[in-house]
Amino acid sequence: MAKAPHPPMRGQKMEKPQNPFKTIRRLLFYLKPYKFQLSFVVLAIWGSGLANVAITYFLKPAVNDYIVPLIGQEKPDLAGFEHLIIVMAAITLGGFLCTYLFNRLMLNVMTGAMRQIRLDMFTHMQKLSIRFFDTHTHGEVMSLYTNDVDTLREMLSMSLPNMLLSLTTIVGVFVMMIVLSPALTGLVVVILMLMLWTIKHVAVKSSKYFSKQQQALGRVNGYVEEMAQGVKIIKVFSREEKIKKDFDERNEDLFHQAANANTFANILMPAVGNLSYLLFAIVSMTGGYLAVIGRMDLGTIAAFLQYTRNFSGPIGHMSMQLNSILSALAGAERIFRFLDEPEAKDDGYVTLVNAEIAKDGTIAEVPYRTGQWAWKHPHQDHTLTYTALKGDVVFDNVVFGYEPDKIVLNGLSLEAKPGQKVAFVGSTGAGKTTITNLLNRFYDVPNGKIRYDGININKIKKSDLRRSLAMVLQDTHLFTGTVMDNIRYGKLDATDEEVFAAAKLANADAFISSLPQGYQTVLTADGVNLSQGQRQLLAIARAAVANPPVLILDEATSSVDTRTEALIEQGMNTLMKGRTVFVIAHRLSTVRNADKIVVLEHGQIIETGTHDELIKLKKRYYQLYTGLFELS
């Protein structure tokens, strides 16, 4: 299959929050439903911070009014001091309750916001085009759901509340320091500027490496996921050393990025801590000198020194939270870029409806299932026409490439009449699977037209178009659930009897009945407990229960043995009756009974005909069939 080429791996270029204010505004959208809870959160944070500030101020009256005057007294009167202690205890209890309240409320806000973000991401992912998944690795997408969402969760639940608490404490402490001593406060501000300068320079480097760390982690996760899926191939070809070397390179990059990020992050706190100790020492000496000359009392010095510690501590905490916030904002930007990825366009307006078709060919739309379908086609003059769903497919001079400069199909024209079995053969990359991708509208045709029952498929709504088709791919995917659930995936409202009939049609009933719980056997990990052939039979049963007029078999029997292939073909012959069938196969023996065999080469049809007709021509198909020319 021709695929769109992958772009350079994400993370090779340094990424940091490019527009943090825009990102914050979008985050606020997710927090808007919780504005009342957030109001209480803010009030509780203010209450917690101001309670800590108030407790410290009580050191001044405690020292000046009680401790110093009571020194040396044989029977000191502690009534006033006890009252002061009770007031301080009450304020401390209030601060504790406020802390509990904002943490509890913020937990509710965070889990609700994260739930909505994940829901929006998953919903949007279903609307993205196949091209997006062809050009992005699974690891990149999974990194959004794990690493980036997790850093965002930590920011909302911890970093932002702690940042606001620290800011509240700093403002409250600064005001009280001015009240106690403007001169000492000026000294603190000078040293504070030095601390902020240090924080700024270290934080910038730290945030850069934290962003690189997130990207490197995404590459490691993606590689591990890919290798876990391909573990059998790795062991078959004894490539353990090769993948270990490749993993070491990615892991080494993660090691360096994480080391750099955490080095700067770990430098920041000790640097700020040492500066805070320097600040405390300078303030202590200056305050002691002012006390000696009678310009300051001991209570003021005690309270101011404690405020000095309370002032530098939150600054250190803010510097640490700043790294987390910047890292989370970078992750949030990646999430929002994902949410801004353009959805797959669907300009179709022709829909598939239940119909009753009279003997004279008159078609009437009905609200109940009849087993007959019709295309409902609204026109610009507000009239409606109905066209019976038959499965007549026409490719008219189709030109397509996954990239503008790499044409895969070049002027392809062919017709598949209702009930015909059309087989595509040719070398890998000839455009066989691309034809089925276009028929499903996984990609839209830029030049030429594809008509389905005479209607341009670009006019047909994608979901309705795909309801009329069923595909059986070479790589079968089974979902976690019972065998019956996996078959019923082709038609969600299928009855148990319809599921049983589809399984029998695909010759899957025998092996299903031998499973421990039969149709109720739970499959996990893509049906790892089944053989490849059994998984393929379930995929064919899934297509059978959908009962579509058009069936696409992309190497549907390539993974099964000859006996199983014969069983499948028996069921397929019944399933294909009256349906338009497109078959892609490398085993030419499986297409001998096709009504039309199309030989493709470099995106063009070079031969068309039945098996006997093409054998008589003794050209490319003859060479392929007789082994004179091998498919590659």
Strand partners, 596: 422
- 93: tokens are 């209890």
Q: What is the pLDDT of residues 469-503, one digit of tens each?
A: 888 877 778 888 899 999 998 888 889 999 999 89
Query: Given a cut of 70, is residue 3 above it in pLDDT?
Result: no
pLDDT of residue 30: 92
Please, is 545 exposed, middle or buried when counting C-beta atoms within 10 Å of its C-beta (0-12, 13-18, 19+)?
Answer: buried
Alpha-carbon gap, residue 486 to 509, rounded angstroms: 14
CATH of the domain at 575: 3.40.50.300
Beta strand 580-584 with 421-426 is parallel
Please, is 267 exposed, middle or buried when counting C-beta atoms within 10 Å of its C-beta (0-12, 13-18, 19+)?
Answer: middle
Question: How high is the mean pLDDT of the chain?
Answer: 83
Q: Using 50, 70 and 90 to split pLDDT, how confident is the model at 307?
A: confident
- The answer on 34 and 92 residing in a single domain is yes
Alpha-carbon gap, residue 416 to 451, rounded angstroms: 10
> Helices 182-229 and 298-339 meet at what angle, rounded to 10?
30
**Per residue, what are the HEC states of 378-401?**
ECCCCCEEEEECCCCEEEEEEEEE
Residues 272, 276, 278, 282, CA torsion sign: positive
- The answer on 188 and 52 residing in a single domain is yes
Instruction: Give the helix/strand (H/E) hosting 279.
Output: helix 240-292
- The answer on 268 and 214 residing in a single domain is yes
Query: Given a cut of 60, is residue 153 above it in pLDDT?
Result: yes
Find the domain containing 585 and state its range: 393-626
Longest dimension (CA), the chain: 126
Alpha-carbon gap, residue 544 to 553, rounded angstroms: 12
Decide if 10 is inside a domain: no
Beta strand 406-416 with 384-388 is unpaired
Q: Using 50, 70 and 90 to split pLDDT, how confident is the model at 559?
A: low
Helix ranges, 144-230 (H): 149-154, 160-180, 182-229
- The answer on 360 and 409 residing in a single domain is no
Strand segments, DSSP code E, in 218-370 are 351-357, 363-365
Pick from 275, 305, 339: which residue ends a domain?
339
Q: Using 50, 70 and 90 to split pLDDT, how confident is the model at 118?
A: very high
Decide if 381 is inside a domain: yes
Between 233 and 355, the higher pLDDT residue: 355
Alpha-carbon gap, residue 315 to 312, rounded angstroms: 5
Decide if 214 is inside a domain: yes
Decide if 44 is inside a domain: yes
Q: What is the pLDDT of residues 337-387, one digit of tens each?
A: 999 998 888 888 999 999 998 888 889 999 888 878 899 999 988 899 999
- The answer on 500 and 362 residing in a single domain is no
- The answer on 62 and 86 residing in a single domain is yes
- The answer on 322 and 373 residing in a single domain is no
pLDDT of residue 330: 87
- The answer on 581 and 556 residing in a single domain is yes
Q: Using 50, 70 and 90 to split pLDDT, how confident is the model at 432?
A: confident
Between 16 and 431, the higher pLDDT residue: 431
Query: Given a cut of 70, is residue 1 above it in pLDDT?
Result: no
- How many structural domains comprise the chain? 3
- The answer on 196 and 212 residing in a single domain is yes
Query: Given a cut of 90, is residue 452 above it in pLDDT?
Result: yes
Average pLDDT over residues 322-339: 86
pLDDT of residue 2: 39
Q: Compute φ and ψ for 117, nearest 5 degrees.
A: -65, -45
Pick from 339, 372, 407: which residue ends a domain?
339
Alpha-carbon gap, residue 489 to 540, rounded angstroms: 12
Place of tokens 């069983």: 567
Q: What is the pLDDT of residues 12-64, one digit of tens each?
A: 333 456 778 888 889 989 999 998 999 999 999 999 989 988 888 888 888 88
**421-426, strands of its sheet edge to edge:** 469-472, 550-554, 580-584, 421-426, 596-601, 604-609
- Do 547 and 491 meet the contact criterion of CB atoms below 8 Å apart? yes
Average pLDDT over residues 290-300: 82
Q: What is the pLDDT of residues 383-406, one digit of tens each?
A: 999 999 988 999 999 999 988 888
pLDDT of residue 122: 93
pLDDT of residue 292: 81
Place of tokens 């068309």: 608
Average pLDDT over residues 194-198: 74
Average pLDDT over residues 68-75: 72
- The answer on 163 and 292 residing in a single domain is yes
Nearest 5°: the CA angle 533, 536, 538 is 115
Q: Using 50, 70 and 90 to split pLDDT, how confident is the model at 156?
A: confident
Give percent of the chain above pLDDT 90. 19
Place of tokens 């696409």: 552
The secondary structure of the chain in percent helix, strand, coil, rounded to multiples of 5, reads 60, 15, 25
Query: Given a cut of 50, is residue 426 above it in pLDDT?
Result: yes
CATH of the domain at 78: 1.20.1560.10
Q: What is the pLDDT of residues 404-425, one digit of tens each?
A: 888 889 899 999 998 888 999 8
Nearest 5°: the CA angle 314, 319, 324 is 120
Query: Given a cut of 90, is residue 519 above it in pLDDT?
Result: yes
- The answer on 157 and 237 residing in a single domain is yes
The whole-angstrom distance between residue 10's C-alpha and the CA centroid of its chain comes to 14
Alpha-carbon gap, residue 612 to 578, rounded angstroms: 23
The DSSP result for 15-52, as a single string, is ---S-HHHHHHHHHHHHGGGHHHHHHHHHHHHHHHHHH
Average pLDDT over residues 163-186: 87
Query: Given a cut of 80, is residue 534 above it in pLDDT?
Result: yes
Alpha-carbon gap, residue 423 to 414, rounded angstroms: 12
Decide if 238 is inside a domain: yes
Query: Given a cut of 90, is residue 74 above it in pLDDT?
Result: no
Query: Given a cut of 60, is residue 455 above it in pLDDT?
Result: yes
- The answer on 401 and 289 residing in a single domain is no
pLDDT of residue 351: 93
Residues in the chain: 632
Q: Using 50, 70 and 90 to split pLDDT, how confident is the model at 7?
A: very low
Decide if 15 is inside a domain: no
Alpha-carbon gap, residue 458 to 451, rounded angstroms: 9
> Helices 240-292 and 298-339 meet at what angle, rounded to 10?
150
- 30: tokens are 């997710």
Decide if 485 is inside a domain: yes
The DSSP result for 33-101, as a single string, is GGHHHHHHHHHHHHHHHHHHHHHHHTHHHIIIIIIHHHTT-SS---HHHHHHHHHHHHHHHHHHHHHHH
Decide if 3 is inside a domain: no
